[in-house]
Amino acid sequence: MPDNPPIPSLDELHALKPLQQPSYDDLTEVAHVVNRLRSLPPLVFAGECDALRAKMASAAAGEAFVLQGGDCAETFDGVTAANIQGKLRTLLSMAIVLTYAAQVPIVKVGRMAGQYTKPRSAANETRGDVTLPAYRGDAVNGFAFTPEARRHDPQRLLGVYNASAATLNLVRAFVTGGFAHLRSVHTWNADFVKSSAAGVQYQTLANEIDRALAFMVACGIDDEVFGTVDFYASHEALSLEYEHAMTRVDSRTQLPYNVSGHFLWIGERTRQLEGAHVELLRHVRNPLGIKLGPTSTADTALELADRLDPDHEPGRITFITRMGAHRIRDVLPEIVAKVTASGRQVAWVCDPMHGNTFEARNGFKTRAFSDVIGELNGFFDVHEEQGTWPGGVHVELTGDDVTECVGGSEDLVEADLVNRYETLCDPRLNRNQSLELAFLVAERLTTGRIRRPNPVQAFVPVSF
């Protein structure tokens, strides 16, 4: 159990000159908003964060696999039943593919209910002869290209709280109220294009699950044990005002937790060792992710791990590597080797999205499905060579049939991007591409090439 040093104040954090922060013009208004946020109830319970930390520890130990996914940038307008259900359905379908094929428990974590703040490469955006502040996520400003919308508005932080609460409320209802029951495995994708290869593969798997379920019921097992799933919320902890206001001392343990989400990650652009984000998050008890891009070194990874997890607590640290398909085989091996040699057991999760973005000839920001799979294969190969466990995937996806990433079995080309390009920031996999990815990952997990300590004991049938 870590010591409990005082949580730094917001002023102390700002003195560390944090990157990627909004510039608010009315600091009194900011203080009002932060005070209001401090008075609002937690969105998650500290005990749930502890439960997730234990599951992340299983992923670090090679006994579970993490599936983390959702929008690049959630939006306030996107908080609709259809959107939330669509993302959940996609994640549950992917999880079932991974569980059934790979026979390993899947830790299900949404990039949901809090993913409203975006770091940007450039502070401004220019269209024609007009330059305005870049869109930084609904937590900060609006997407419309007008001075009013692009103003950094602190009231939006209350919008983040409300949107996250509404999303979590429905997610909790879905995962405990019957929607996620294993019996529903067919209905999640009932409307799926029959001609889609992943859709057909999914139907075949769903039929097998139906038969297995019927067999178990015939054997006298109450199928209500398959009625609910554990599902967790995560986002990038970027807005210091919001994350600080949502950091509370847990009444059970007297220890601080960030109660805006179960799992928080520090982005590639804000993970400076002496920076404000590391300083705030080192005090909270939540399980933490650290993004590692192509310029990362083993020393950086180890220094961050020492700072954020001085006690080597199981499940505390997850390294989310996002090196790019063409760099992963060069950069990842040394990091994995040195972290492992240090005696740390961390969860290794592959984000095959953020290192593979490019601008298409028609101006759309996109990713090629082949690069996404290329990076995943590199990730599995490196861990196979090192004898370490590839602990999970982190993907930007949606439940809709958008056209934002090229490739996949539908063979989307750059000319298709214009049809349904709906993301406000980075391109997401659509439902078909997400399922396809799940089948490919399941195949890598089942080939037998990956060492799994004890697959039989590791399979926990009551919580898929």
Ligand X SMILES: C=C(OP(=O)(O)O)C(=O)O
Please enumerate, by residue number, every residue annotated as part of a binding site for phosphoenolpyruvate.
Answer: 111, 268-269, 291, 322
Binder of ligand X out of 55, 89, 277, 322 (CB under 6 A)? 322
Of residues 109 through 148, those in contact with ligand E4P by CB under 6 A are: 118-121
Scan residues 285-314 and list those touching ligand X (CB under 6 A): 291
d(CA 443, CA 307): 36
Q: Which two tokens stand for residue 72?
A: 């690049």
Instruction: Compute the least distance from the CB of residue 351 to ligand X, in Å.
Output: 6
Which 257-286 residues touch ligand X, going by CB under 6 A? 267-269
Convert residues 336-365 into a mask of x (bound to ligand E4P by CB under 6 A) and - (unbound).
------------------x-----------
User: Taking a C-beta distance cutoff of 8 angstroms, is the pair 263, 288 a contact?
Assistant: yes
**Whose CB is nearest to ligand X?**
267
Under 8 Å between Cβ of 303 and 334: no
426 near ligand E4P (CB under 6 A) = yes
Assigned token pair, 413 = 């080309």
For ligand E4P, which is the closer residue by CB, 39 or 121?
A: 121
**Lookup: tokens for 91:** 């994640």
The contacts of residue 215 (CB under 8 Å, 6+ apart) are none
- Estimate to the nearest angstrom the gap between the alpha carbon of 104 and the chain centroid: 19
Site for ligand X in 338-377 (CB under 6 A): 354
Residue 261 forms beta bridges with which residues? none
CA 10 – CA 249 distance, rounded (Å) = 16
Instruction: Confirm or reject binding of residue 428 to ligand E4P (CB under 6 A).
Output: no
Q: At what angle do helices 27-39 and 156-176 cross, to 10 degrees?
A: 20
What are the beta bridge partners of residue 394?
Answer: 68
Distances (CA, A) of 13 to 107, 273, 368: 32, 13, 38
> Beta strand pairing status for 124-127 and 130-133?
antiparallel
* Closest CB to ligand E4P among residues 70, 399: 70
Beta bridge partners of residue 131, listed in sequence order: 126
Binding mask 81-120 for ligand X (x = CB under 6 A): --------------------------------------x-
Return the number of the residue (316 or 322) whose C-beta is nearest ligand E4P.
322
Token pair of 213 as six digits: 């379920």
What does 136 interact with, of ligand X, ligand E4P, none (CB < 5 to 8 A by kind)?
none
From the CB of 167, what's the least distance to ligand X, in Å? 17
User: Taking CB under 6 A as the rule, does residue 142 contact ligand X?
Assistant: no
- Using CB under 6 A as the binding criterion, the count of chain residues that bind ligand E4P stands at 8
Of 132, 77, 351, 155, give the one whose Cα is nearest residue 236.
351
Binding ligand X by CB under 6 A: which of 71, 236, 241, 436?
Answer: 236
For the CB of residue 337, give the shortest distance to ligand E4P in the complex, in Å.
28
Binding-site ranges for ligand E4P (CB under 6 A):
72, 118-121, 354, 425-426
Binding-site ranges for ligand X (CB under 6 A):
72, 119, 236, 267-269, 291, 322, 354
